[in-house]
Amino acid sequence: MKMIRAIIRPDKTEEVVDALSESGYVALTKMDVIGRGKQKGIKIDKIYYDELPKIMLILVVEDDETEGIVDLINESAFTGSFGDGKIFISPVDEAYTVRTRTKGL
Ligand SMILES: Nc1ncnc2c1ncn2[C@@H]1O[C@H](COP(=O)(O)OP(=O)(O)OP(=O)(O)O)[C@@H](O)[C@H]1O
Ligand SMILES: [Mg+2]
C-alpha cells in the first residue's frame, strides 16, 4: 500500500475529490493546511504572503492504483500557475478496519 498526500489549491478540492470519486476512489482524509513552496509564498500588490492556505488530501491505496490516482490529481488540480500543488507518496506497512478487525484496506 501507499499513502498519497496531495497538497492542492482549496478552490480545486471539489474538482479533485469528484474526479477521484468518479474513478472509484472514495475513501480519503481532507485537511486544511498552511504552507509554502519554492517561491516562498506570493506577493499580491504590495502585500507579501509568506504562507498560503492549501488543502491536503490523504489517500491510502493499493500499490497498483497509485500511478492512476496521481495522474487524476495532476489533471484535476492543474491551473498552470505557481502553487498548483505537490504530491508525495510513501509506503504504508499495515492498515486495519476497526469495525471488522480485518487487516488491509
Ligand atoms: N518540499 C515540500 N515539502 C513539504 N511541503 C511542500 C513542499 N513543497 C511544497 N509543499 C506544500 O505544497 C504546497 C504547494 O506548493 P507549490 O505548488 O507552490 O510547490 P512548488 O514546488 O513551489 O511548485 P510551483 O513552482 O508550481 O509553485 C505548499 O504551500 C506547501 O504546503
Ligand atoms: Mg510554489
Q: Is residue 89 part of a domain?
A: yes
pLDDT category at 100 given cuts 50, 70, 90 is: very high
Q: Is residue 73 part of a domain?
A: yes
Q: Is residue 1 part of a domain?
A: no
In DSSP notation, 42-91 reads: EEETTEEESSEEEEEEEEEE-GGGHHHHHHHHHHHT--SSTT-EEEEEEE
In Å, how far are 27, 80, 105 from 66, measured between CA atoms? 14, 23, 14
pTM of the model: 0.96
Q: Is residue 28 part of a domain?
A: yes
Q: Is residue 4 part of a domain?
A: no
Pocket of ligand 1 (CB under 6 A): 7, 33, 35-39, 52, 54, 82-86
Cβ distance 89 to 97 under 8 Å? no
Q: What whole-number percentage of the chain has pLDDT above 90?
A: 90
Domain of 14, in residue numbers: 10-103
Q: Is residue 56 part of a domain?
A: yes
Mean per-residue pLDDT for 20-42?
Answer: 95
> Which residues lie at CB < 5 A from ion ligand 2?
37, 39, 82-83
Q: What whole-number percentage of the chain has pLDDT above 70?
A: 100
pLDDT category at 64 given cuts 50, 70, 90 is: very high
Q: How far is the CA of 18 from the centre of ligand 2 (A)?
A: 24
Q: Is residue 2 part of a domain?
A: no
Mean per-residue pLDDT for 3-25?
Answer: 98
Supply the pLDDT for residue 39. 87
Query: Where residue 66 sits, what CATH number does that domain have?
Result: 3.30.70.120
Query: Of all protein residues, whose CA lies closest to atom 31 belonging to ligand 1?
Result: 35
Query: In the block, which residue shows the cell 491551473?
Result: 79
What is residue 93's three-state secondary structure? coil
User: What domain count does the chain have?
Assistant: 1
- The DSSP symbol for 24 reads T
- The DSSP symbol for 22 reads H
Mean per-residue pLDDT for 16-44?
Answer: 95
